Amino acid sequence: MTLVARRTGQVLFLVFENLRDFPQKLKQRVGNLIAGELKVFTDECSIYDSLREGLGVINSHERVNHSEREFARCEHVNSCENRHGFLRAYLRKYRGVSFRWLQAYLDFLALLLNNRWGWFPELISTRIPR
- Whether 113 is in a domain gets the answer yes
pLDDT tens string 73-113: 655 557 777 788 888 888 888 888 888 888 898 998 898 88
pLDDT at 50 over 60: yes
Average pLDDT score over residue span 33-42: 74
pLDDT of residue 44: 79
Q: For the chain, what is the domain count?
A: 1
- Whether 64 is in a domain gets the answer yes
Please state, for a pLDDT cut of 90, what percent of the chain lies above it. 0
Return the sign of the alpha-carbon dihedral for residues 94, 95, 101, 106.
positive
Q: Which domain holds residue 97?
A: 2-125
3-state secondary structure 104-129: HHHHHHHHHHHCCCCHHHHHHHCCCC
Least confident of 8-22, 92-106, 114-128: 114-128
